[in-house]
Amino acid sequence: MVLSTGSKKIKTAIFISGTGSNLKSLINFSKRKKSPISINLIISSNKKAKGLKFAKIFNIKKKIYNFEKNILDEKRILFELKKNEISLICLAGFMKILSKDFIKNFKGKILNIHPSLLPKFKGLNTHEKAIKNNEKYSGCTVHYVNYKLDSGKIIIQKKVKIKKNDTPKILAKRVLVEEHKLYPKAISKIFNL
Ligand code: GRF
């Protein structure tokens, strides 16, 4: 459990690989007076990630690692996290699997948002799986990251009804709107706000 340090905001790093729409919603959340977090670092596994534009717009330090050499890049990231006194990591559309060693360094302090009602549909193509499975609901989940993919303790979830003519693309769009509300809610919840 991440403990708040009183009035000071918790220095947070956001890990991305793509569009960064969850990053944007977390940046907006961090700017609210009552927000417990400040976003001090953006880590991307993809130098072409569209989300990197938000680092520029909001003047947030960014670092890019392609993870070709996972162990080496994780060591570099750990160095950056310590240098920037980061104590909370939010994975937001981050497409790399972090190693056990890395996670051990931030036990209970790494969150992830996943576009399904976990434990259903871990991994990729969640919307396609939900539709193929004739589920009534899909949704999104914010959870702690542990050593098993998409399996850490669930913090909060939001159900989204699957409509008759939904395609994975249409459903993904509807779930993403809920993700942008859910991640800030999850952070407020872990800080008992
Ligand atoms: C989101 O659906 C997120 O749940 C998944 O990646 C998608 C893209 O996220 N992990 P973003 O727009 O890059 O935040």
- For residue 166, what are the CA distances in angstroms to 114, 118, 119, 157, 159? 19, 20, 22, 21, 15
Q: Could you tell me if the CB of 139 is within 6 A of ligand 1?
A: no
The ranges of the chain with pLDDT < 70 are 1-7
Q: Which pLDDT score, from 0 to 100, does residue 31 have?
A: 97
Counting atoms of ligand 1 from 1, which one is nearest the CA of 176? 2
Q: Could you tell me if the CB of 20 is within 6 A of ligand 1?
A: yes
- Cα of 175 vs centre of ligand 1, distance in Å, is 10
Q: Which pLDDT score, from 0 to 100, does residue 6 have?
A: 58
CA 48 and chain centroid, separation: 18
Q: Are 52 and 23 in contact (CB under 8 A)?
A: no
Q: Are 174 and 147 in contact (CB under 8 A)?
A: no
Q: Could you tell me if the CB of 113 is within 6 A of ligand 1?
A: yes
Q: Which pLDDT score, from 0 to 100, does residue 172 have?
A: 98
- Cα of 170 vs centre of ligand 1, distance in Å, is 14
Taken in order 85, 77, 48, 168, is the CA torsion positive or negative? negative
Q: Which pLDDT score, from 0 to 100, does residue 188 have?
A: 97
Q: Which pLDDT score, from 0 to 100, does residue 7 have?
A: 66
134-187: per-residue pLDDT in tens?
999 999 999 999 999 999 999 999 999 999 999 999 999 999 999 999 999 999
